[in-house]
Structure formats: C-alpha cells, structure tokens
Amino acid sequence: MAENNDGQDKSEEPTAKRLADARKKGEVARSKELTTTVMLICGAVSILIFGHWTVEAMFDIARGSFSLDREQVFNSSLGLNAFMESIAIALSSLTPFLLVMLASAIVGSLAMSGWNFSTQALVPKPSKMNPLKGVKKMVGTQALMELGKSIVKFAVIMGLGVVLLWWFMDEVLVLAREPLEQAIEHGSLMVVWVFLLVSLTMILIAVVDVPFQAWNHRKQLKMTKQEVKQENKDTEGSPELKSRIRQTQMEVMIRRMMQAVPEADVVITNPTHFSVAIKYDQDKMRAPIVVAKGADFVAFEIRRIAQENNVPILSAPPLARAIYHTTELDQEIPEGLYLAVAQVLAFVFHLRQKPGKSGSSEINMPNVEVPDDMHYDADGNVVKPKGVGD
C-alpha cells in the first residue's frame, strides 16, 4: 500500500486514478471471512445433497477391498485394476463436492471486489521484508481487528458447539444401539447439520468484516494534499501551463477574429461593452453567422478595425447583447433573431446604395425588434424588456 510522504497527514480520499493504480498492482479489498463463509456453507449444503451418494460409494469401495477373491490376491495386475477401480469410484463420488468447493472459492473471492489479475503482486518487494514494518502491523488496527474476529469466532463456535451437543445428546446416545451402517449414516448426518449450523454463524463475522475491509482498503490508499496536487499535475498538467495554453488559445482566437472583421457586413454594438460582427452571403449561407465577438477591450478592437476598414457599425444594445450571449463564434444566429438581423442587414445594404455614405460611421437603430425571451443584461441574465407586463 501507499506510504506516507513527508510526514503529511493522509486526509484526502483516494482519487479514481489512485484506486485504478492500486488495482493494477493487485491491491484490492478482500475479505477472507467472506470467502471462508461461502465455502463452508456451500460445502455443508453439498454434503447434504451429495453425501448419501458419497457414503454409499465409500461403502462399496470398502466392501470390494475386503472381499477380494483368491485370483485377485495372487495376481498383482488384477489387484492393481481393483485398486484403480476403487480410486475411480472415489473420485466420481467426490467430484460434485469438489466442483462445488471450487466454485464457492471463486465466487467468495470475487464477491467483494470482482476479478482482478495482476502480475505486479507476484514481484517481491523489499519493503515487505522490513521486520520493523512487520512488528508495526502486529500492533496496528488490522492486527487488532483480526484478534477481535478470532476471539468472537472462538466464542461463537464454542457456545454454539455446547448448545448443539446438548441438543443432539439423545441422538448421540442412540447411535450405540444402531446397526453399523445406519449408525455411520445417522452420525454423519448429525455432523453435517452441526457443521452447517456452525458455518451459518460465520455470516455474522463476514457481515462485520466486509465493510471493515472496504474501509481499511480506502484508508490505506488515502492521499496527502501534496499527492493530490502532484497527481493533478501529472494527469492534467500544471495550472501555470494550463493557464498559458488558455492564454495562447485566446490570443489565437482573437487574432483570427480580428482578421475576419474587415470581411463582415456589419458590426452591432452595445455601444461600448459588446461588439458582434455579422457576415451573410445569401448564395453560400443559410443564415447570417458571427465572425467576431467580444466584450470591453476586445469589443473596442473590433470597432476600431471596423472603422479602419469601412465596415458599418450599428448601435443596437438589445440585439448586440442577445447575439453575444446566444451565439458562438462561426455559428449561425438563432432563429429567434432572424427578423432583427434581417432588419439590420437590410438597413445597412440600403445605406451602401446611397452615394457619399461612409460605411465606418456609427449608426443608431433603436427600433430593432428583439423577442421578449432574448433580452439579456450585461451578465447574460434574461430580463423583461421595458413595457412588457407593465
């Protein structure tokens, strides 16, 4: 498990990456008590189901072993064949039980954390060979928990054993008066039932141990604040680098916008806080698109470049705010603003046809119709237009 670094307290929950890395190393939460409980209960149930068949097979083997004829006794090959046949009968009778135990061992191991195979867990670690660390584990939380579980298991099994012995006392005494085969079968059945009842008590231990192992696993994987910061740097890059990248991306985007402003048909302004540059080619575009937009200093630069390139600048605050807050760069304006933008473009195209009109002068156009649900304030919040609902 991960060790403490620089004496810092491990107060942070393990990240998804930390948990994934631990899983790759074979470090997952496991409960030996859960596996043991599943195996014991499944073993007892399988004996109850297949036990009669197994006992009969063993009796057949015993009868065959003690009833060899003269030829089998003095012929080694025949004796070997009889021995191999007995082995085959024994294996066939025990196969269901062994298969159940194999399946229960697999299910019990996978029940808590699922399948996990890691070759890294097989690599020897010098840190695990440190005797001081071994002594520390002997007096740690895990050791105390194991001691507590052992004491509880001993007490529960001891108490249950006494109760069951008292409960089956009459049947135990009756065994002495029964025929041999019946006594063996009867005694075996009692032993199996006692075994099953004792195994069921292990559920109590497993119910406590499973959440404890899950908690202890996460506790051992907890991280210091420095480890969390370092992991974020390793996976996402340092904050300084990310800030520099964002700044560079912003600069590239602004340069690209400024290069597109001279090609715009009109720049709509707030008039000072926001500026959006609109372009429309009816032969190539389904609707007008935003080729540049910005607030404050960027808005000022858009207006300056528009003035230098004789691009019409139109002051329509509600429309400028609506386009700025609803449309991204190089996107079409929303359908709700089609009418308002059409009015602006028609007005601008009409001005261009008049001789002597300079396209760079700022024009006021107060009567632009913006839908009531697309009136925004400077922070991008929808506001009720003046006169609506008054």
**206 shares its domain with 295:** no
What are residue 13's DSSP bridge partners? none
376 contacts 329 by C-beta, under 8 angstroms: no
What is the DSSP secondary-structure string of 131-153? HHHHHHHHTSHHHHHHHHHHHHH
Report the alpha-carbon distance of residue 334 to residue 327 in Å, rounded: 7
**300 shares its domain with 198:** no
**71 shares its domain with 196:** yes
Predicted local distance difference test score (pLDDT) of residue 1: 45
Report the alpha-carbon distance of residue 80 to residue 99 in Å, rounded: 27
Is 319 within the bounds of a domain?
A: yes
Predicted local distance difference test score (pLDDT) of residue 141: 67
377 contacts 321 by C-beta, under 8 angstroms: yes
Is 72 within the bounds of a domain?
A: yes
Predicted local distance difference test score (pLDDT) of residue 186: 76
**259 shares its domain with 351:** yes
Predicted local distance difference test score (pLDDT) of residue 238: 60
HSE of 40 in the Cβ direction (CA atoms, 13 Å)? 18
**216 shares its domain with 251:** no
Is 386 within the bounds of a domain?
A: no
In the chain, how many domains are there? 2
CA distances from residue 353 to 193, 272, 358, 359, 369 in whole angstroms, order as listed: 103, 27, 11, 11, 24
Place of tokens 């069921």: 200
**215 shares its domain with 264:** no
Report the alpha-carbon distance of residue 79 to residue 65 in Å, rounded: 10
Is 204 within the bounds of a domain?
A: yes
* CATH code (residue 299): 3.40.1690.10
**257 shares its domain with 349:** yes
Q: Indicate the SS3 state at residue 360.
A: coil
Is 25 within the bounds of a domain?
A: no
In terms of pTM, does the model score above 0.75?
no
**210 shares its domain with 251:** no
Q: Read off the tokens for 236.
A: 């996402």
Predicted local distance difference test score (pLDDT) of residue 68: 65
Predicted local distance difference test score (pLDDT) of residue 390: 38
pLDDT in tens, the chain (390 residues): 444 454 567 777 887 888 787 777 777 888 888 888 888 888 888 888 887 787 778 777 777 766 666 666 666 676 677 778 788 888 888 888 889 889 988 888 888 877 776 666 556 666 666 666 656 666 666 677 777 778 877 888 888 878 888 888 888 778 778 787 778 777 877 888 888 888 888 888 888 888 888 888 888 888 888 887 777 776 665 666 677 777 887 788 888 888 888 888 888 888 678 888 888 888 888 888 888 888 888 888 888 888 888 888 888 888 888 888 888 888 888 888 888 888 888 888 877 776 555 455 567 666 777 887 888 887 778 777 665 443
Query: How are the residues of the chain apportioned to helix, strand and coil, as percentages rounded to the nearest 5?
Result: 65, 5, 25
Predicted local distance difference test score (pLDDT) of residue 237: 58
**88 shares its domain with 160:** yes
Residue 210 structural domain: 30-114+127-222
For the purposes of burial, counting CB atoms within 10 Å of the CB of 388, is it exposed (0-12), middle (13-18) or buried (19 or more)? exposed
Predicted local distance difference test score (pLDDT) of residue 375: 81
Q: Read off the tokens for 235.
A: 């996976």
125 contacts 51 by C-beta, under 8 angstroms: no
Place of tokens 């400028």: 320
**193 shares its domain with 253:** no
